[in-house]
Structure 1
Amino acid sequence: MSVPVLLAVTGAPWEADVVRRTERAPGIRVVRRCVDLADVMAAAASGQARAVLLADDLARLTSDAVSALHTRGIAVLALVDPTENGAPFGAEDRLSRMGIERILPADVSPEDLGRAVTDAVESGPPASLSHFGGGFVPLTPETAGNPQPVYTQGSGRVIAVWGPTGAPGRTTVAVGLACELAVKGVPTLLADADVYGGTVAQLLGMLDETSGLAAAARSASSGSLDMVMLAKHARQVEPHLLVLTGLSRADRWTELRPAAIESIWSAARMLAPVTVVDVSFCIETDEEISFDSLAPRRNGATVATLEEADEVIVVGTADPVGLTRLIRAIHEVRAIVPSVNLRVVVNRVRSGSLGSSPADAVGEALTQYAGVQPAALLPYDLNAVDTAMSRGRSLAESAKSSKLRKSLQQLAGTIAKELVG
Structure 2
Amino acid sequence: MTTVLTALTHRHEAAFVEVLGAASGIELVRRCADLAELLSTGAAGVARVAVVSPDLRGLDRDALRHLAGHGVRVAGLAAPDDEEGERRLRQLGVATLLHPGDGADVVAAALVALADATTSRPVAGTAGTAGPVDHEPLPPPDPRVPTPVTVVWGPTGAPGRTTVAVTLAARLAGSGVRTLLVDLDTWGASVAQLLGLVDEAPGVAAAARASEQGSLDVPGLARLAPEALPGLRVLTGLPRADRWPELRAAAVEDVLRLARGVVDHVVVDTGFALEDDEELSYDTAAPRRNAATLAALEAADRLVVVGAADPVGLQRLVRGVQDVAVLPCPRPLVLVNKVRASAAGPRPERTIREVLGRFAGLEEVRMLPWAPDDCDEAVLTGRALTEVRPRSPLVTALGAVAAELDERCADTSAADRHGRRRRVRV
Contact 2:179 2:266 in 1 (8 A): yes
**Identity %, equivalent residues:** 45
Deviations, residues 272-310 of structure 1 (Å, cap 9, x unaligned): 221101000011124424315422211111111111111
Task: Quote the residue 1:167 is aligned against.
Answer: 158
**Cα distance in 1 for residues equivalent to 2:211 and 2:300:** 18
Q: In structure 1, the residue corresponding to 2:159 is in which secondary structure?
A: coil
Is 1:131 paired with 2:139? yes
Q: Are 1:370 and 2:360 matched, yes or no?
A: yes
CA distance in 1, matches of 2:342, 2:401: 24
- Report the residue type matching 1:399 in the other structure: R
> Structure 1 residue 237: deviation in Å?
1.2
Q: Secondary structure of 1:312's match?
A: strand
Instruction: Give the stretch that moved more between structures: 341-350 or 207-216.
Output: 207-216
Asked if 1:387 corresponds to 2:377, the answer is yes
For the pair 1:184 / 2:175, whether they are aligned, the reply is yes
Partner of 2:222: 231
Q: What amino acid is aligned across from residue 199 of structure 1 in structure 2?
A: S
| Structure 1 residue 306 corresponds to structure 2 residue 297 | yes
Question: Contact 2:302 / 2:405 at 8 angstroms: preserved in 1?
Answer: no
* Aligned: 1:193 with 2:184: yes
Q: Does 1:351 align with 2:359?
A: no
1:218-237: CA deviations, max 9, x gaps? 11111122211111110111
Which residue of structure 2 lines up, in the alignment, with residue 18 of structure 1? none
Residues 172, 409 of structure 2: 8 Å contact kept:
no
The TM-score with structure 2 as length reference comes to 0.64
Equivalent residue letter for 1:162: W
Select which of 139, 152, 157 maps to 2:144. Answer: 152
Q: CA deviation at 1:269?
A: 1.4
- Check whether the contact 1:273–1:419 (CA below 8 A) recurs between aligned residues: no
Post-superposition Cα deviations, 1:94-149, rounded to whole Å, max 9, x if no partner, equal 6443xx55xxxxxxxxxxxxxxxxxxxxxxxx2xx6422xx2xxxxxxxxxxxxxx
Count of paired positions: 290
Which amino acid in 2 is paired with 1:236?
A: E
Quick check: 1:253–1:298 contact (8 Å CA) kept in 2? yes
What pairs up with 1:72-151 in 2 under 5 angstroms?
A: 95-97=131-133, 126=136, 130-132=138-140, 135=141, 150-151=142-143
In structure 2, relative to structure 1, the CA distance for the partners of 1:242 and 1:379 (3 Å cut) is same
In structure 2, C-alpha distance between the alignment counterparts of 1:243 and 1:404, rounded to whole Å: 22
- Assess, with a 3 A threshold, how the Cα gap between structure 1 residues 397 and 418 changes in structure 2: closer, same or farther: closer
Q: Secondary structure at the match of 2:152?
A: strand
- Aligned partner of 1:222 in structure 2 is 213
Whether the aligned pair in 1 keeps the contact of 2:167 and 2:395 (CA below 8 Å) is yes
Task: Tell me if structure 1 keeps the 8 A contact 2:277–2:289.
Answer: no
> What amino acid is aligned across from residue 386 of structure 2 in structure 1?
A
The alignment status of 1:203 with 2:211, answered yes or no, reads no
- Superposition TM-score, scaled by structure 1 size: 0.64
5+ residue gaps, structure 1, are 1-55, 64-92, 102-125, 136-149
The separation in 2 between residues aligned to 1:395 and 1:151, in whole angstroms, is 30
CA gap of 1:237–1:418, structure 2 versus 1, over 3 A, is: closer
- Which residue does the alignment assign to 2:401? 411
Q: Pick one of 234, 242, 251 that aligns with 1:243.
A: 234
Partner residue of 1:316?
307
Which stretch shows the higher mean deviation, 185-194 or 407-416? 407-416
Provide the C-alpha distance between the structure 1 equivalents of 2:210 and 2:277, rounded to a whole number of angstroms: 28
* Cα distance in 2 for residues equivalent to 1:254 and 1:419: 36
Query: Which of residues 194, 199, 212 is equivalent to 2:203?
Result: 212
Q: Which structure 2 segments of 5+ residues have no match?
A: 1-81, 92-128, 411-426
Q: Which residue of structure 1 aligns with residue 259 of structure 2?
A: 268
SS class of match (1:267): helix
In structure 1, distance between residues paired with 2:374 and 2:399: 14
CA drift at 1:263:
0.2
**1:292 and 1:223, CA in 2 relative to 1: closer, same or farther beyond 3 A?**
closer
In structure 1, the residue corresponding to 2:343 is in which secondary structure?
coil
Q: Deviations over 1:306-344 (max 9, x none)?
A: 11111211100111111110000000111233x522110
